């Protein structure tokens, strides 16, 4: 039986298991990471690990659920703070997802790569979360077009292509971003918002 998700959210040991397992999945991949390696890296017993998660699959699923749910929370908070104007909402959600994928880089990369190892029913849950994230951007872009704030359709660019391009820009930054590098996460998020403003044809703020 799968452990309750509340464990993954509230228990220090469970959180440590997720964090350490995410690092192992990121560095070595899900198939090459055994439960024993997770236990050793976390310094927990088999009984402690299985008290929270019944299998390696449960661990991966919990990591991906946490990552996607926290992304959705950050996007909704960004929308709420920006108000009803899509020209203000779009920079807010671009900054939110850019920041997530640089400050929680390992989780973001594992979420993009390793969901394919889940069985169909659980992969469907994660794919639905991905659709929800994409739909937030699509809805914002459509409203911007309807209000005249965004002019990208005049250049033959579809809403779904624009949304996917924005997400690729921000999420794939996790592949190369380095916290010790020239740009910090806040500056990268700022530059991402400026690039997106140019892409959608929004007036300069």
Give residue 88's pLDDT: 95
Q: Is residue 25 part of a domain?
A: no
Give residue 11's pLDDT: 82
Q: Is residue 144 part of a domain?
A: yes
Give residue 179's pLDDT: 84
What tens digit of pLDDT does each residue of 182-201 get?
Answer: 999 999 999 999 999 999 99
Q: Is residue 151 part of a domain?
A: yes
Q: What is the mean pLDDT of the chain?
A: 92
Give residue 204's pLDDT: 55
In the chain, the number of structural domains is: 1
Structural domain range at position 107: 57-200
Give residue 181's pLDDT: 87
User: Which residues are CB-neighbours of 159 under 8 A, at least 6 positions away?
Assistant: 138, 141, 142, 145, 153
Q: Is residue 127 part of a domain?
A: yes
Give residue 203's pLDDT: 65
CATH code at position 82: 1.10.357.10
């Amino acid at each position: 039986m799968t452990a309750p998700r509340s464990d993954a959210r509230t228990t220090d040991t469970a959180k440590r298991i997720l964090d350490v397992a995410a690092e192992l999945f990121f560095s070595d991949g899900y198939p090459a990471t055994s439960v024993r390696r997770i236990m050793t890296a976390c310094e927990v017993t088999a009984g402690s690990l299985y008290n929270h998660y019944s299998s390696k699959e449960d661990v991966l699923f919990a990591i991906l659920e946490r990552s996607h749910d926290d992304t959705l929370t950050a996007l909704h908070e960004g929308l709420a703070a920006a108000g009803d104007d899509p020209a203000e909402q779009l920079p807010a959600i671009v900054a939110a997802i850019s920041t997530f994928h640089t400050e929680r880089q390992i989780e973001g990369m594992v979420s993009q790569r390793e969901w394919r190892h889940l069985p169909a029913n659980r992969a469907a849950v994660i794919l639905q979360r991905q659709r929800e994230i994409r739909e937030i951007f699509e809805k914002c872009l459509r409203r911007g077009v309807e209000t005249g704030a965004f002019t990208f359709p005049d250049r033959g660019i579809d809403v779904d292509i624009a949304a996917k391009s924005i997400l690729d820009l921000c999420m794939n930054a996790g592949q190369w971003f380095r916290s010790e590098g020239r740009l910090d996460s806040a500056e990268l998020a700022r530059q991402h918002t400026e690039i997106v403003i140019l892409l959608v044809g929004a007036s300069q703020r």
